[in-house]
Chains A and B, each alone.
Chain A
Amino acid sequence: MSKRKVKDVHLPTGECITQLQQVLRERFCHQRLPEKPEGVEAQHKNLLELLRRTAVHGESNSLLIVGPRGAGKTTLLRCALRDLLQDKDVNKNLLQVHLNGLLQTDDRIALKEITRQLHLENVVGDKVFGSFAENLAFLLEALKKGDRSSSRPALFVLDEFDLFAHHKNQTLLYNLLDVSQSAQAPVAVVGLTCRLDVMELLEKRVKSRFSHRQILLLSSLSFPQYQQRIQAQLSLTDAFPDAHFAEEWNSSIKTLCEDKSAQDVFRRQFHFSTDFRSLHTLLVFCLSRVTVSKPVIKAADVLEASRLCLCDAKANMLHGLSILELCLVIAMKHLNDVYEGEPFNLQMVHNEFKKFLQRKSRSMFNFEQPVILKAFEHLQQLEMIRPVDSSSAKTQKEYQLMRLMLDNSQIMEALQKYPQCPTDVKQWSASAFG
């Protein structure tokens, strides 16, 4: 680590850490836009060119950006928009409408939102709240009246595009794409979706009006590239106020990325998924362990963070069960083994449990039926067992058929970790006749 003294700005360590946390948290939690799109330069250029053609030349377009969750679809679009709006003419001229499939759950709400975002409420007056057909007719009229040369281009961004395809008759999609096909006001329709089969969802008439232009965002990173990205994600830029601290931090990150055990963790994460959302959760856990007294990320932190990220939640929950509930789970496991996955009811489980008690002849676990029923219901509440059919009112509680929602290996692993597990229960779990 070089100890070059940079004396221009030197903040106290606490202040530096605060700054560091702010910068990195904005990057990981708030999805701050990077300076330049990384790894998707070609797609970015493509998208930017397309949007510019709409904004400048008044060409109507439609496009889908498809990619798995966390692949950077929104980031790509936002980067392209930011670069596009740097042009002053475009900035003044382009109208933007942002819709989200999660929020605008039907066409009526979506239409209201479009009118609002185009600032047409003044024009429509109280007509905003008129009938759906009227509203649509007005909007279409407004769009149709324009022509390629004079009217301002509009950009429609449809986030969660696949949800719009579930609207009734796909009216909104049909009309938007229809406008983009005919020689009316110039619009660009950009859809973002994570479903690869999104074209199958569209109706035939809608599909035929779509330009079938798609940008596919599939990660094709190799591990060394992935690691470089991690390093870049964690590093500070020159804009950081304390240059000395930034330099030290960056060199510590470099040593971290060369560390063998940290690399193993990153490799495991890479094999899990290559998207950056899941990496960010890992890094947030690491970052939260950086304090004034320990202003670096160590390999041990990365290990601890991955342990937190990858732990099996069901095994965690099994750890907290009482011994009676655990015995019932083991009885269910045996029933599953013997009857090959047939559903069971409380009576069978109780019977199996009683057999165990008889063999071992221990009075310690001799509970009454209602106490066992209570434990059974607790398991149901935790959704470790689930009723086969939901008509619960018709059958008695003790005869309702259930299925176990746990794997054998999960149960065995949880038993190994269970604090003060009685030996005979352990033996019983290993075999039904233990």
Chain B
Amino acid sequence: MTGVLHHPGYADEKLQRVEQLIPCRELQAGMLVSLMGQPQHYSYPSIFIYGHRASGKSHVLHILMKELELPHAAVSCVECVSAALLYERVLTSFFGRSAASFLPRSPSLSEFVRLYRHQRSQSPAEQTRYIVMEKAELLRDADANLLPALLRLQELVDDNITVILLSEIVWEKFRPNTGCFEPLLLHFPDYSKGELQQILSTDSHPSYSAELYSSYINILLGVFYSVCRDLRELRHLAALNFNKFCEPLTEGKVKETETHKLWRNIEPHLKKAMQTVYIREVSSLQWEQMQQTEDEGGALRGLSAHTHVELPYYSKFLLIAAYLASYNPARTDKRFFVKHHGKIRKTNFLKKNEKTSNHLLGPKPFALDRLLAIFYSVVDSRVAPTASIFSQISSLVTLQLLTQISHTDQLDAPKYKCSISLDFISAVSRTVNFDIVKYLYDFL
């Protein structure tokens, strides 16, 4: 293992400790250390590191900075909602708390640079200073001059300083219109399946052997690897389901060596987990409780089952009418809703191609008149167009079951769109004994 990380600027034992803390990232760390060079040397003004989520970008940087004791400012762009917070963080971590107190309220970049230059002249850098910025893609939404200025900060403040940007998004999407100082680009590749297995196997359960845990990880990856390569997500799933995996062992039904039986036991469980816990239908806590109470997984009503809302009788029909108006073409209305319509040739009526299916393209807007016409046709009894009917329409908009397309100040002939799914409307129509599929053009 020794000799991957080696640099004359840093003590070997420190580098070895770093190496142990970052499994499967020795190559990238080595490259980074050699790019940074010895502490007193100049380093490149800006380095841009990109890679997928949970590929160890900030972890490697954090470990390097901490173990090698480099002066650095760690900044998360999510936290720094205004540039002032960013300046304060940088000044505080380089020159102590007192330096940041000189910043005026809502400082400009110019003031930050002036203050930095002033402080630097009192305590110049003996080592390269680093600013590590996570989630750098948010810098694009800040002032237009912030990113170009950060990229050439070394030149602006005339100090031995390096800005390291970490992001999930490639550099091409960052480049400003008039160009900027190009940073060094460094890619952190994704972990391969073997590396994921290796990393996940390190946190084994104390009361079971390491081999058992590693075979469990193997099964877990077999189910989830095709969907998810996020290390954090996988680790979370591994921790959640391990108890279930060990259940037959604690009950004494199966021995540790009978991997096939363990696999038979856990696989359907994991598949269920993909449809529930992975998409956060069921929270982790509920999932754990479910396992303890020996409940059948998934029997619990998930988040999406709660979308069912209790609506008044006419509101349900209004919603049904809205759905029909949104997903049926207007030319078929006569065929569906008029009792004694004339003869319509069947072949012509049913001619449709798949591309124009509204369940593929999404809902179409409709006028209020059409909604009311369909509404009167689907409701069997006579309904007076009272104020309460109209207020129910607007309350459906408030509930975000309908969306108003036209401007809200338009009182005559407003246009709406129905924004609910087929499952939802089927559930609603079942409660009023209305067969909606019969009236949908797409399913004819």
Contact = CB atoms under 8 A, between A and B. Distances in A.
Contact of B42 (A26, A109, A113, A339): A26
B190 A371 contact: no
B169 A347 contact: no
B403 A347 contact: no
A29 B40 CA distance: 13
B8 A18 contact: yes
A288 interface: yes
Contacts of A162: 178
Contacts of A289: 34
B43 A103 contact: no
A371 B403 contact: no
B201 interface: no
Contacts of B178: 162, 194-195
A278 B179 CA distance: 13
Interface in B89-126: 108-111, 113-114
A103 B156 contact: yes
B292 interface: no
Contacts of B6: 291
Given A284-B184, A320-B52, A394 B403 contact: yes
B178 to A, nearest CB: 6
Nearest to A374: B279
A35 interface: no
A382 B168 CA distance: 6
A109 B187 contact: no
Contacts of A375: 227
A313 B145 contact: no
Given A104-B110, A105-B108, A371-B278, A317 B360 contact: no
B173 interface: yes
Interface string B128-170: 0000000000000001010011001011100010000000111
B250 interface: no
Contacts of A365: 226
B419 interface: yes
Given A18-B38, A394-B403, A399-B363, A382 B8 contact: no
B51 interface: yes
Contacts of B328: none
Nearest to A373: B279
Interface in B10-54: 31, 34-35, 37-38, 40-45, 50-52
B172 A313 contact: yes
A237 interface: no
B225 A322 contact: yes
Interface in A371-387: 371, 373-375, 381-383
B42 A25 contact: yes
Interface size class of A (residues with CB under 8 A): 35 or more
Nearest to A116: B114
A341 B160 CA distance: 48
Contacts of A395: 362, 403, 419
Contacts of B50: 313, 316-317
A86 interface: no
A17 B8 contact: yes
B50 to A, nearest CB: 7
Nearest to B179: A69
Contact of B51 (A70, A284, A320, A351): A320
B52 A30 contact: no
B182 A396 contact: no
B109 A105 contact: yes
A314 interface: yes
A311 interface: yes
Contact of A103 (B109, B227, B360): B109
Contacts of B208: none
Contacts of B38: 18, 21
A317 B279 contact: no
A131 B34 CA distance: 51
Interface in B255-310: 274-275, 278-279, 281, 304
B171 interface: yes
Contact of A317 (B45, B52, B145, B148): B52
A14 B227 contact: no
B321 to A, nearest CB: 19
Given A320-B51, A320-B190, A29 B43 contact: yes
Question: Which of B51, B110, B229, B419 neighbours the largest number of chain A CB atoms within 10 Å of its CB?
Answer: B110
Interface residues of B, number: 73
* Residues of A contacting B: mostly: helix
A221 to B, nearest CB: 19
A320 B51 CA distance: 8
Interface string A47-60: 00000000000000
A348 B403 CA distance: 22
A277 B229 contact: no
B184 A281 contact: yes
Interface in A184-199: 194-195
B226 A319 contact: no
B275 A371 contact: yes
Question: Which of A28, A105, A291, A364 neighbours the largest number of chain B CB atoms within 10 Å of its CB?
Answer: A105
Interface string B312-356: 000000000000000000000000000000000000000000010
Nearest to A382: B168
A319 B189 contact: yes
A284 B169 contact: no
A102 interface: yes
A168 to B, nearest CB: 16
A316 B55 CA distance: 13
B44 to A, nearest CB: 5
B192 A25 contact: no
Given A25-B37, A281-B184, A284-B184, A370 B279 contact: yes
A22 B9 CA distance: 12
B229 A322 contact: yes
Contact of A347 (B109, B154, B173, B360): B360
Interface of A: 14, 17-18, 21-22, 25-26, 28-31, 69-70, 74, 100-105, 109, 112-113, 116, 162-163, 194-195, 277-278, 281, 284-285, 288-289, 291-292, 308-309, 311, 313-314, 316-317, 319-324, 339, 345, 347-348, 351, 364-365, 367-368, 370-371, 373-375, 381-383, 394-396, 398-399, 419-420
Interface of B: 6, 8, 31, 34-35, 37-38, 40-45, 50-52, 55, 108-111, 113-114, 143, 145, 148-149, 152, 154-156, 160, 168-173, 178-182, 184-187, 189-190, 192-193, 225-229, 274-275, 278-279, 281, 304, 355, 359-363, 403, 405, 417, 419, 421
Given A288-B31, A367-B227, A420-B193, 20 more contacts: A18-B8, A22-B42, A30-B42, A31-B155, A102-B152, A103-B110, A103-B145, A194-B179, A309-B185, A316-B189, A317-B50, A317-B52, A322-B229, A323-B225, A323-B226, A345-B362, A347-B359, A364-B226, A382-B52, A419-B192
22 contacts: A18-B8, A25-B42, A29-B43, A30-B42, A69-B180, A74-B155, A103-B109, A116-B114, A194-B179, A277-B182, A281-B184, A288-B34, A288-B35, A292-B8, A316-B170, A316-B187, A322-B228, A345-B362, A367-B274, A370-B304, A373-B279, A396-B363
The 3 closest A-B pairs by CB, nearest first: A399-B362, A320-B190, A313-B170
